[in-house]
Structure 1
Amino acid sequence: MSSLIDKAKHMVSGAVTGMEKPEASVKDVDLKGVSLGHVTYNAKIIVTNPCGVSIPICEIRYILKSNGSEIATGTLPDPGSLKGNDDTLLDVEMKVPHSVLVSLVKDITRDWDIDYDLQVDLVVDLPLIGEFTIPINNKGEVKLPSLSDYWK
């Protein structure tokens, strides 16, 4: 009886290992808005779901760093689901307090942008597997608007 159970476990684990899993990448990170208390950045994440069924997203966790310092962190609970056999575009809004941006003045004044390192964990609920985390890392720079940008 135990050999039958072992064979069943082996067969299920082989099927799960060979199962295609969603893949994700950062498409863009940009300045979304400025308010009295914070600056809002928006990361556009594209997720490809090779499964024929919709997959629920449990949560999105993010850490935004600049010059080695963490400037924003957060969790977006229950942001929806991934379309089956399709690409899904996710918007991840990150709010950075103005007080944190003051510490980045040296980087900003050098080239009028903010160099960033974005780490995102996309937690999805895969059939048969359960919760599965897709890690996404992206480095880049966000150009800040100049006065001439407001006159166009």
Structure 2
Amino acid sequence: MDIVDQAKHFVAEKVVNMPKPEATIIDVDLKGFGLDGITYLAKIDVSNPYAVTIPIGEIAYKVKSSGRGIATGSIPDPGSLKANDKTMLDVTIKVPHSLLISLIRDIGADWDIDYELELGLIIDIPVFGNFTIPMSYKGEMKMPTLSDLFRGNQTADMAAEPADA
């Protein structure tokens, strides 16, 4: 092996073993509901092991229930990750009523929907380039009742637990 190959091998090994940012979905709650659909809020805890601030390019999400996608979207340029610290991110997820109606069988007697939330946090790390941190979260969405809609009650929530990413 010549010196150039040794240098490439050394750099590649160091890059593979470098710490990378990690993220976890902490909680998902009902944020509100209206005529256009229901809005949920996912809270994400992201740790940045680097001594520099890292810009977040995009957060992409997909909500599934019974194996079907019920909501997808993305949040472009949601900010940046603090250097050597944890950053809490809020991700707003809109689910149209029309898609919830299609899941009426799952709602059943207990008035909830089993779901899986998949999130991808896309960050731009110097040397690595774009890096996606995948996350997953499973739980059940408690649906607002008709009386909740008329009273403006927004206290329903989503019971859930993190899934393995």
TM-score (norm 1): 0.89
Amino acid at match of 2:42: A
1:119-147 Cα deviation digits (max 9, x unpaired): 11111111211111111011112223454
Cα drift, residue 109 of structure 1:
3.2
Unaligned runs of 5+ in 2: 156-165
TM-score (norm 2): 0.83
CA RMSD of aligned residues (A): 2.1
Higher fraction of helix: 1
Tell me what 1:72 maps to: 71
> Residues 133-144 of structure 1: matches in 2 within 5 Å?
133-144=132-143
Q: Is contact 1:60-1:77 (8 Å) kept?
A: yes
Amino acid at match of 2:51: G
Residue aligned with 1:16, SS:
helix
Tell me what 1:109 maps to: 108
Tell me what 1:45 maps to: 44
Residue aligned with 2:2, SS:
helix
**Residues in 2 aligned to 1:144 and 1:98: alpha-carbon distance in whole angstroms:** 11
> Do residues 84 (structure 1) and 98 (structure 2) align?
no
**Residues in 2 aligned to 1:112 and 1:50: alpha-carbon distance in whole angstroms:** 42
> Residues 95-106 of structure 1: matches in 2 within 5 Å?
95-106=94-105
Unaligned runs of 5+ in 1: none
**Residues in 2 aligned to 1:123 and 1:6: alpha-carbon distance in whole angstroms:** 31
* Count of aligned positions: 151
Identity %: 55
Tell me what 2:162 maps to: none
Cα drift, residue 86 of structure 1:
1.1
